[in-house]
């Protein structure tokens, strides 16, 4: 499970960097200005921890004024508070194992995305660079076109170690507030912001793990409702 969590983080990074700005779709998930060089970063293949280390190194080079690594410790600068440090523990003892990697930076949110890998499974911390405020979510992140909110989504139909569904957060005044959380029986994949108040998902079947149509959620009177 440890390796699969690393691979999942790399896949999300690659997919987010491959997005193009088109119509009202957001590309805020891009952490660097040179996303097309990802093939050279990972030598054209995904290779577990080696590749995620290279991804982090690439982000650290882009944001060296704010973030750095010293051995097993990741350092993050906080503008209006104490800087943060996260130290990995690669002990063979399963219950004590934890690894921290910086896997993205969202400019419009002023937010770091730190991926935590446990012996089995993992999670993410979204940390505001201005204030140090943070939230934890199982999901990967996609920012709305107007940057007023963001989506965190996660698919876990096989292991059930983590939440299977999506959350929507508001993003204002350098703070993040949960607006909606919905547990799903199908797996959410490849989300798209159709507008600032409408999200489309590809539905993954819990039976065969294959695409099974699409689902659209719309913000109506302050609530996210399935169409």
Residues in CB range of 216: below 8 A, 6 or more apart: 194, 198, 199, 200, 201, 226, 227
CA pair distance 152, 184, nearest whole angstrom:
13
Domain ranges of the chain: 2-226
pLDDT in tens, 80-95: 989 999 999 999 999 9
Question: Does residue 32 have a pLDDT over 70?
Answer: no
Calculate the average pLDDT of the chain: 82
* Residues paired with 183 in a beta bridge: 165
Tell which residue, 195, 186, 183, has the closest CA to residue 214: 186
Question: Does residue 6 have a pLDDT over 60?
Answer: no
Q: Which regions of the chain does DSSP assign to beta strands (E)?
A: 67-70, 73-76, 84-87, 98-106, 111-118, 122-128, 134-137, 140-143, 149-154, 165-172, 175-183, 187-195, 198-204, 211-220, 223-226
């Amino acid at each position: 499970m440890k390796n699969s969590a690393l691979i999942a983080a790399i896949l999300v990074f690659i997919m987010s960097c491959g997005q193009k700005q088109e119509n009202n779709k957001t590309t805020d998930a891009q952490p660097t200005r040179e996303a097309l060089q990802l093939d050279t970063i990972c030598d054209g293949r995904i290779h577990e921890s080696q590749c995620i280390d290279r991804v982090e190194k690439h982000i650290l080079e882009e944001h060296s004024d704010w973030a750095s690594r010293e051995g097993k410790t990741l350092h993050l600068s906080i503008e209006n508070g104490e800087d943060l440090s996260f130290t990995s523990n690669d002990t063979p003892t399963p219950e004590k194992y934890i690894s921290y990697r910086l896997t993205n930076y969202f400019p419009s949110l002023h937010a770091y995305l730190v991926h935590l890998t446990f012996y089995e499974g993992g999670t993410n911390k979204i940390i505001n660079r201005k204030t140090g405020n943070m939230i934890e979510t199982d999901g990967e992140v996609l920012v709305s076109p107007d940057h007023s909110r963001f989506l965190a989504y996660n698919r876990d139909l096989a292991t059930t170690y983590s939440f299977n569904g999506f959350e929507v957060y508001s993003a204002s005044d350098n703070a993040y507030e949960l607006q909606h959380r919905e547990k799903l029986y199908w797996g959410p994949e490849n989300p798209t912001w159709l507008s600032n108040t409408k999200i489309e998902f590809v539905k993954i079947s819990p039976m065969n793990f294959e695409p099974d149509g699409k689902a659209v959620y719309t913000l109506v009177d302050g609530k996210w409702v399935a169409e």
